[in-house]
Structure 1
Amino acid sequence: MKKIIYLSLLAGVLFVQMSCSKMDPEKEPLEEYTEDYIFDPNDPAGTLAIQFLNNVYTHLPDGFNRIGNDMLDVATDDAIPSRDNTSIDVLRSGRLSSVVSNPDGVWNEQYLAIRKANIFLSKIDVVPLTDEVKNNWKADARFLRAMFYFELVKRYGGVPLIGDTVYKVADKVEPKRNSFEECVNYIVSECDAVKSTARPDPVSLTDWGRVSKGVVLTLKAKVLNYAASELYNGGNIALSDGNPANDALQGYPNFDAGRWQKAALAAKDVMDLGIYSLESGNNLFIQRRNNEVIFSYLRPTNRDIPLLNGPIGFNTANTKGQGLTSPTQDLVDAFPMISGKPITDVSYNKDNPYASRDPRLDKAILYNGLKWLNRGVETFEGGLDKPNTTNLVQTKTGYYTRKFMAHFTTSAEYSLQHLNFNIFRYADVMLMYAEALNEFNIVPPAEVYQILKDIRKRAGLQLANAYGVPATMNKTEARNFIRNERRIELCLEEQRYWDVRRWKIAEQEFNKDLQGMRITKTGATTFGYQRFVAGKIVFNSPRMYMYPIPNSEVLKNKNMVQNSGW
């Protein structure tokens, strides 16, 4: 009987031959089971097979403070890590290289996950399941495999496509990288192949968190949205380095507006399901199941996010935050007034900067004076949440993160939350559709305006000014409006890090001083506000648009071509 120790596909797979008696599932961990034990022809319920599939699900993006307890968004202009010299500084300070450990490098993990999916697909037919269940589970595995490839492609460009192959230890594994186009086509084809065998929407309560048709269609829309974006659609950074071997690996060599049309149609397919809608109130992030969530990484009830990111000035075990994430003034400025107009409008009061703002600001950012755990947040100099004590981790910008947290305004402590990481949600699909329509057409069509109004209406902006959406915009104006709307609607959700790259504007947006707000108490209830440089972000263009292939992979595989600039 085989015992399998799973390693990276490209690092090799070790098979240990051994004889053993059938294992006790109550005593042996799942990873110690043999394939023959897991995929049992005498198990009509597929008890261990579904556990194996559940393990494949664990390789999905899990978000939040996943990089050394920092959010990925602190490697953007939206936030700064409150601690010094953390692992994510490699990304935000331009120190990444092919030999430096990449805190967001997923090469080994994703190929391990792809291998697990392939094992599942190669073995599941022996389990005597009903056709419906077997088709659903196969659709799960194929979708997850496609999702793992997407996670690789958005970081590295074209990568080796393994297909259904399950390599053995004696196999010489030196695959070539497939082109970017081949990878995109493969992911799209996998989505098309399983959309009819995935679970129909809405999924049952017992299947919540598993793959459905809507989930499959959303991945297709996301991949096509990326493929149509400037970094890949004719803006391929490899075209200028004089190395023809790279040209097709990091994007298309030419621009094709039709790619935006394909992206629009794919997003519209999700919308036309009629299953998803914008969720009202604050249920989006704290209610495990709601109308807007399409696909999430499921987590147990927890209070870790407020304890990691909440203000530091509370003193009990269930209230004292670590304040690890400091949102920037740059992000705060991106939120408009309640009228929907930008803060450059005359209604903005620099001496009372948080008054009459977009309600999403209060739901995303903890700022000075905002009520939290039965008192006002004190981020003024010397305040409870910014005491300026030596060697104390505290906000570097005058702000803490509130997004994803429950209604703790008048709570005595942080309670346990149903907090999952949303991989896909409907507002993202709507904004992808608006973006693709705008980019494909000469002038933005009516649907673009309506989507922007719908999202801002849900946010609580004023109707009187059409929620701040201009009556007419040219293509460039609409592009900028949509991009800012993505920034504020999806802030801290691991979207901007990739959006700015695919738009190919990172050399401007991620290469600058980042602002904070220094607040001083001038009276019993009055404060002075002064902007200051709180930190800096560095982006080495053009090479940082894509990660370097791990040097270990290049050294051991003569067919592995490194990305441009590395």
Structure 2
Amino acid sequence: MKSSIIFLVLVLFLSSCDDLFDPAIENIRGLDAMYKEPTYAQGVLANAYILLPYSSTPNSDVATDDAVSNDNSNNYLMMATGSWTAANNPMSQWQDRRNAIQYLNLFLSNADQVEWSKDEVVRTMYNDRLKGEAYGLRAVQMYYLLLAHGGWTEDGRLLGFPIVTQPEDATSDFNQNRNTFQECVDQIFADAKKAIELLPLDYGNVADDQVPQKYKDLGVTNASDYNRVNGNLMRGRITGRIVEAVRAQVALLAASPSYSAGTNVTWEDAANYAATVLDRIGDVGGMDPNGDTWYANISEIEALASGVTPAEIIWRSDVGQSNTLETDNFPPSLYGSGRINPTQNLVNAFPMENGYPISDQSSNYDPANPYANRDPRLSNYVVFNESTQGPNNDVIVTGTYGDNNDAINRENGLSTRTGYYLRKLLRYDCNPDPQYNTEQKHYTARIRYTEIFLDYAEAANEAWGPTGTGSHTFSAYDVVKAIRARAGVGTANNDAYLESVKGDQDKMRELIRNERRLELCFENHRFWDLRRWKVPNLNETATGIQIDNSNGTLIYKPIDVEGRDYKDYMYYGPIPYGEIQKWSNLEQNAGW
């Protein structure tokens, strides 16, 4: 894949720099060149991988009630505080997704003519897999288009994007209407179905008797031929399992309150699609016991072979050696810029270790000692006052009495604004100190099993109630209990709080949403969740904590840090203003 990308980039570079050479080099190649050059053909497909929408940084979280940035020029900060327009949209997916879809359409229109192998059976296997990848990737790209730009028009129609499944050229009619949201969902489901039919569930070498029957029927008797196409070397590419997870994500979106009135996708559909993924690992019994700290499971990360996924991960990026996240987010005393500051809003969402919310009398929460006996995930995900961070376990003082720039608001653009620093996603054993500049291995979790478990819990609760199972063997209650037990919450009292709400669908909904907030924090989910739920939190003021030392006694004072300025129509993102100006048939979402 890397060779394919380099090859295609070189071709594009040379064709764009033609005028640098005298005489000019004729190197503008037609697509028919791919028919005899599989590397060139795969280079076209590779662009859809390059343009995948997943972010390695928690950028969108600073546009929610979970975090703020200490960088005043941050686009998401400006967006959240009133500068979000159709012409200035850091959440836009329009250009990159549509570019990727064009590459995929080009590939799909020509793949059948590519000579993937001289051996006809091997050629069929290659063609199946690569077309399966293209259909799966197109489903991903379309999902993110729908997520970012689906919305209601002034006349009450729920629209998505213009569905384009054929490559466009200079003669194409670009002035297209947006398809309905439902039509877009149907197209994604259709692509997912084709991908699942063509792709292996997972890549990996097999024995002769494990070759899929459809290829045995074509005459494949030697596993080496199959492994050449779908073996270990292909790990990291999109698979049938990944596409099943994407399909579950799409169904959850379509069934959610913001969109359900314009679709025929039900909560039961969403639960069933998620269950397809989870049944493959034995439902809650297959939950990774260390999945909540996937980013910090150092021995696991260090041992990862190329393309291999840990038990928690359905799809991940390549592993890279860096300390960029730490340089951006460590406290300044550790040579970091302290960019992402978790809010008091988020900290308050972590229950006590006994499972009760801190607002519940049974929680035994002590405002004068607010971090004692809390959900262990709080200390795993957030650096709070007088906790430790970094390779030497330095104590970080965020209170006003601190003697360095770690203290709240001590240095503009460097110190925390909320009284908290980020811990999640970071490796403590990195050292941004220029004297050492120690880097460690990281990867981005594109889709986690925990996300799909939470998808199932949300949909199952709405479809069948907290303890209903539909046609499956586990319930929303079972999922929440397993997730909280894994985190060390409610383990000493049989999670009495969960037991108290398991008969109430509304209270279970609130608990599931909160568990989703905690488990997926800083992984770019919160913004999209608030919008699809259509809840007031989107406009909730971001708060922090000012901690003063009065003669040895710490005084905790909640503070407002940053207001949010979202209008009601902003639950649905805009179509880019420039596109609306260019194409008269392209209708804008209401309010923009």
Deviations 1:113-149 (A, max 9, x none): 1001111222233332222222111111111111111
Contact persistence 1:444–1:478 (CA under 8 A): no
Which structure carries more helix by proportion? 2
2:457 counterpart of 1:469: no
Partner of 2:216: none
Amino acid at match of 2:350: F
What is the Cα deviation at residue 161 of structure 1?
A: 4.0
Q: Are the counterparts in 1 of residues 241 and 277 from structure 2 also a CA contact under 8 Å?
A: yes
Q: Which runs of 5+ in 2 are unaligned?
A: 1-7, 117-121, 151-158, 205-230, 469-473
Q: Pairwise mapping of residues 186-197 of structure 1 onto structure 2 (< 5 A)?
A: 186-197=187-198
Q: Which moved more, 1:110-119 or 1:124-133?
A: 124-133
- Aligned counterparts of 1:156 and 1:411: Cα–Cα separation in 2: 38
The superposition leaves residues 31-82 of structure 1 with CA deviations (integer Å, 9 ceiling, x where unpaired) of: x875344x241x4xx33433432331121123243xxxx7100000000111
Aligned to 2:201: 200
2: CA distance between counterparts of 1:47 and 1:5? Answer: 12
1:417-428 matches, cutoff 5 A: 417-428=440-451
Matched, 1:515 2:543: yes
Give the counterpart letter for 1:196 in structure 2: E
| Residue 563 (str. 1) matches residue 589 (str. 2) | yes
2:399 counterpart (380, 393, 397):
380
Which among 486, 497, 502 is matched to residue 532 of structure 2?
502
| TM alignment of 1:223-262, pairs within 5 A | 223-234=250-261, 251-252=262-263, 259-262=266-269
Does residue 1:211 correspond to 2:218, yes or no?
A: no
Give yes or no for contact 1:114–1:145 (8 Å, CA) kept in 2. yes
Query: Cα distance 1:329–1:336, how it changes in 2: closer, same or farther (>3 A)?
Result: same
Residue 278 (structure 1) shift: 2.1
Letter in 1 for 2:280: L
**Which position in structure 2 is the counterpart of 1:274?**
281
The answer to whether the Cα contact below 8 Å between 2:409 and 2:417 also exists between their aligned partners in 1 is no
Task: Tell me which residue corresponds to 1:153.
Answer: 146
C-alpha contact (below 8 Å) 2:293/2:380 kept by paired residues? no
- Say whether 1:284 aligns with 2:294: yes
Matched, 1:47 2:12: no
Q: Is the 8 A contact 1:156 1:546 kept in 2?
A: yes
The aligned amino acid for 1:469 is L
Give the Cα separation in 1 of the matches to 2:35 and 2:289.
42
Letter in 2 for 1:52: V
- What SS does the aligned partner of 1:418 have? strand
How far apart in 1 are the matches of 2:409 and 2:466?
Answer: 51
CA displacement at 1:277 relative to structure 2: 3.4
**Shift in Å at residue 479 of structure 1?**
0.5
1:304 aligns with 2:324: yes
Counterparts in 2 of 1:565 and 1:444: CA distance versus 1, 3 Å: farther
Return the match for 2:270 from 260, 263, 267. Answer: 263
Aligned length: 511
Describe the SS at the equivalent of 2:419. Answer: coil
1:539 match: secondary structure: coil
For 2:11 and 2:101, the matched residues in 1 are separated by 15
Q: Residue 439 of structure 1: which of 462, 468, 491 is its match? A: 462
Is the 8 Å Cα contact of residues 372 and 409 (structure 1) preserved in structure 2?
Answer: no
Aligned partners of 1:301, 1:4: CA distance in 2, in Å? 25
1:325 and 2:328 are equivalent in the alignment: no
Aligned to 2:475, the other structure's residue is in SS state helix
1:66-145 matches, cutoff 5 A: 71-98=59-86, 100-129=87-116, 130=122, 131-145=124-138
| Change beyond 3 A, Cα 1:282–1:301 | farther
2:412 is equivalent to residue 402 of structure 1 = no
Bigger mean CA deviation after superposition, 153-162 or 354-363: 153-162
Which one of 50, 56, 60 corresponds to residue 58 of structure 1? Answer: 50
- Residue 444 of structure 1 deviates from its aligned partner by 3.8
User: How many angstroms apart in 2 are the aligned matches of 1:338 and 1:440?
Assistant: 30
Q: Is the 8 A contact 2:318 2:443 kept in 1?
A: yes
**Pair 1:88–1:5, CA change in 2 (3 A):** farther
Q: Give CA-to-partner distance per residue, 1:417-451, whole Å, 9 cap, x none.
A: 33222221101111111111111125542611111
Quick one: percent identity of the two aligned structures?
31
* TM-score normalised over the length of structure 2: 0.80
Instruction: Report the secondary structure of 1:517's partner residue.
Output: strand
CA distance in 1, matches of 2:348, 2:519: 13
SS of 2:68's partner is: strand
Q: CA 1:73 to 1:259, structure 2 compared with 1: closer, same or farther past 3 Å?
A: same
DSSP-derived class of the 2:128 partner = helix
**CA–CA distance in 2 between the matches of 1:389 and 1:33?**
58
Task: Report what 1:353 is aligned to.
Answer: 370
Alignment partners' CA distance in 2, 1:516 and 1:301? 33
Return the alpha-carbon distance in structure 2 between the equivalents of residues 33 and 338 of structure 1. Answer: 63
Matched, 1:553 2:579: yes
Q: State whether residues 372 and 410 of structure 1, in contact with CA within 8 Å, keep that contact through their aligned partners in structure 2.
A: no
Displacement of 1:307 in angstroms is 1.1
SS in 2 for 1:301: strand
Aligned to 2:567: 540
Residue 543 of structure 2: SS of its match in structure 1? strand
Q: Identify if the C-alpha distance between structure 1 residues 522 and 49 changes in structure 2 by more than 3 Å, giving closer, same or farther.
A: farther
SS across alignment from 1:537: coil
Change (3 A) 1:490 1:103: same
Note the C-alpha offset of 1:264.
0.7
Question: Aligned equivalents of 2:171 and 2:322: distance in 1?
Answer: 44
1:308–1:321 CA contact under 8 A, matched in 2: yes
Q: Secondary structure in 2 aligned to 1:488? A: helix
User: Superposition RMSD on alpha carbons, in Å?
Assistant: 3.0
Shift of 1:274: 2.1
Go from structure 1 to structure 2 and tell me whether the alpha carbon gap of 1:74 and 1:33 turns closer, same or farther (over 3 Å shift).
farther
Read off the aligned partner of 2:421 and give its amino acid letter: Y
Q: Residue in 1 aligned with 2:248?
A: 221
Q: Distance in 2 between matches of 1:346 and 1:268?
A: 33
CA contact (8 A) 1:61 1:297 kept: no
Alignment of 1:35 with 2:31, yes or no, is yes
